[in-house]
Structure 1
């Protein structure tokens, strides 16, 4: 607190009068806030009462300082400690500055009526100096709150991302994400890859996602960067932009799910894809986890094996022997339709028709290198599974 210079402090009698008038001055201040600040009128009654307490505490702190001008100020505790910390959350800094301004204007207006004769200038100067100190204390309170809130948000975000990495499916996840500002609950997908070695990886990934108008949660799990994306109609485009913020190496996008509570499924698939993607050196970046089903299945991922059985092998098996036989023949011939037709004793157009039917059922083309690889792995695993079933 700056000293009051060569000016004498207000007299003891003036300070007594100011102390007795503190309640009425606070009431007048709140009344003027109600008249001049529309947002203050809309506040709930309990929050308005907190403001009254802060105003009264501020006047009491002014009196105490004037009595002991050499005492170090403790405005943060004396003034703002009168109200719960929730007040900082519900009243932004700009509004708090307006509240202080109105309170000090009321005190200045009533200096003449409160001060003893000849004391008005001293009291007015004290009010001016005190208002400056309150302004500094206000900035400190909000800065401390922002720092602690930022640390809390970082811990909560880390807990949410860690739960997703562990495959946790919890109805509490949307509530935790909502506390972090996550608004849209669907659709959701998880992007994983290597964390960059330098820079603020959280900020860079978050900024890239928000540029694409996507909700985002960011975490680093071991040396892997995990980014949860949501609320965008084109999460693939968002993932492509955000993947630029990852470290070197592959980046895998988990399947899109319809709720944040199911984001653990997307994370599990993405992490399984990241473990298996080295088997596909030419994989795009980012690569969908579903595009890595054969590599994931060979790596022992039960979810990938089940997906290949359900989406590829079973539809071909139930389509009839001709379709399955044609797919096997084309795969065995390396995609040569004429050679396959000779083996099957049919016209090449018949082979084309059957392959078209197989592609409609599975989404895979036997003549495409990647599609043929996926079909081959799916059919091999189906045969192995059938053999084991026969033995058991």
Structure 2
């Protein structure tokens, strides 16, 4: 359908496809285009409402912003048709201050659909806007212009994505830093919500060395792998250290082993599980303390639990490890019956010999075996395994040295299962 009040166009005898050396457009055609900008904009908005269901579902302010983009696009086309110049102006002239509203309201795919409708409306009106000799150059100009607008729209969305990516990265780094420093505030909760944390599972912090030059490809691979092994992940790189805050890890043993492959050389330590991100500071502190002490256990597995490094952490001066040994091992042994602490002490002192222990305690060797099994049941550590016997022996030492007063009982997190 022609636009209202479209006068008949007198035929022209001269016309050619417009290019760098083509003749300028007919002034009458340019003037007719200018007079029809409002009508073209109205027709475009009607067509958008008719052809695009998602456009009808937008809020009034969003439809108004997109309508302004369409109207600016048509007005700018007329200026460009009169004086074709470099397309660099398209980004600012067409979109102006709209990129934020545009990218928030619709996706790039929908933006291109909008551009397609605008182009179609203008192209359908070409017979009523130009004489026959000028119609082919005008259609070509519409197509060339629409291409530039499409590229400009893609640029708008690319810039918006880069801005969001940079902001998300900075916000993620702030959350990781706040967890490491032990913040527990409304600001931290707000940042956690803003970063889009979705996991409701228990939290683990894993630390180790970062690759020599972590780039965007490494971070993409890291997020791809963690996306399969955990419900949610925060990534932090601080100097030469890589920090992963993992929520809802599936199959912990295999997942930790797979994730450790993404770290740089050296030990990789994971802390005990925490109930939430706000409470994850203890896991992070234990992991970092374990990373510092891990060199004292050259044959430690990779990755290794921070709790398996309790003896090394005690020697390096970590008071939380001392409290954990007392709370999880020494006190349960003292509180248990049947002389478990005495039996364990004798067994460790006498070179892990069942016979020597039975003779020293005047009990049968089977009684010693039973009591050592009870030690394992009570503490979770098996004295028949050399490494775990070392942990038990360290617990006996620190427990005897650091007896808390009755008026100020110590508390410490329990060992993860």
User: TM-score, length-normalised on structure 1?
Assistant: 0.90
User: 1:39 — aligned with what?
Assistant: 54
Greater shift, 81-90 or 236-245, is seen at 81-90
**Structure 1 residue 279 and structure 2 residue 296: aligned?**
yes
> What CA distance in whole angstroms lies between the structure 2 residues aligned with 1:353 and 1:188?
36
Q: Which residue of 2 aligns with 1:252?
A: 269
Q: Distance in 1 between matches of 2:184 and 2:144?
A: 56
In 2, Cα distance between equivalents of 1:306 and 1:337 = 30
2:29 maps to 14
Task: Identify the residue that residue 95 of structure 2 maps to in structure 1.
Answer: 80
Aligned equivalent of 2:175: 160
State how far apart, in whole Å, the 2-side matches of 1:24 and 1:387 are.
86
What SS does the aligned partner of 2:237 have? Answer: strand
- Residue 376 of structure 2 is matched in structure 1 by 359
SS of the residue corresponding to residue 229 of structure 1 reads: strand
Residues 181 and 281 in structure 2, CA contact (< 8 A), matched pair in contact too: yes
Computed over aligned residues only, the root mean square deviation of the Cα atoms, in angstroms, reads 2.6
Q: Structure 2: how far apart are the matches of 1:119 and 1:313?
A: 95
Q: TM-score by structure 2 length?
A: 0.85
**Counterpart in the other structure of 2:206:** 191
Selected match of 2:70 from 55, 64, 76: 55
Find 2:287's aligned residue among 241, 248, 270. Answer: 270
Per-residue Cα deviation, 1:40-76 (whole angstroms, up to 9, x for no partner): 3333332222111100110111122223324664111
**Larger helix proportion, structure 1 or 2?**
1
Unmatched segments (≥5 aa) in structure 2: 1-16, 408-417
SS of alignment partner, residue 79 of structure 1:
helix
| Equivalent pair of 1:214/1:238 in contact (CA under 8 Å) | no
For residues 86 and 299 of structure 2, what CA distance do their matches in structure 1 show? 71
Deviations 1:223-244, CA, capped at 9 Å, x for gaps? 1111222233334432211110
For the Cα contact (< 8 Å) 1:190–1:267, is it kept in 2? yes
Tell me: CA distance 1:220–1:387, structure 2 relative to 1, closer, same or farther (3 Å): closer
- Mapped to 2, the partners of 1:60 and 1:322 lie a distance apart of 92
Residue 362 and residue 117 in structure 1: after superposition, are their counterparts in 2 closer, same or farther (change >3 A)? same
2-structure distance, mates of 1:334, 1:38: 81
Cα drift, residue 154 of structure 1: 2.5
Q: CA deviation at 1:5?
A: 4.2
Q: Structure 1 184/8 Cα, relative in aligned 2: closer, same or farther at 3 Å? A: farther
SS of the aligned residue for 2:381 comes to: coil
Whether contact under 8 Å (1:34, 1:40) holds in the other structure is yes
Q: Equivalent of 2:225, from 180, 204, 208?
A: 208
After superposition, residues 230-249 of structure 1 pair within 5 angstroms as 230-249=247-266
Q: Which deviates the most, 83-92 or 265-274?
A: 83-92
Worse overlay, 116-125 or 253-262? 116-125
Report matched runs for 1:27-176 at 5 Å: 27-70=42-85, 73-115=88-130, 119-173=134-188, 175-176=190-191
Shift of 1:381: 0.8
Shift of 1:222: 2.2
The alpha-carbon deviation at position 219 of structure 1 amounts to 1.9
Q: Answer whether contact 2:229 2:250 (CA < 8 A) is retained.
A: no
Aligned to 2:343: 326
The 3 A distance-change label for structure 1 pair 27 and 317 is farther
Alignment partners' CA distance in 2, 1:149 and 1:266:
29
1:375 aligns with 2:417: no
Report the number of matched residues.
Answer: 389
Deviations 1:238-260 (A, max 9, x none): 22111101111110011122212
1:167-191 deviations in whole A, cap 9, x for unaligned?
3334544543554454324222111
CA distance in 2, matches of 1:144, 1:198: 25
Extract unaligned runs of 5+ from structure 1.
none
**Other structure's SS at 1:364 match:** coil
Alignment check: 8 A CA contact 2:338 2:371 kept: no
Cα offset, 1:382, TM superposition:
1.4
CA 1:86–1:51: 2 relative to 1, 3 Å: closer
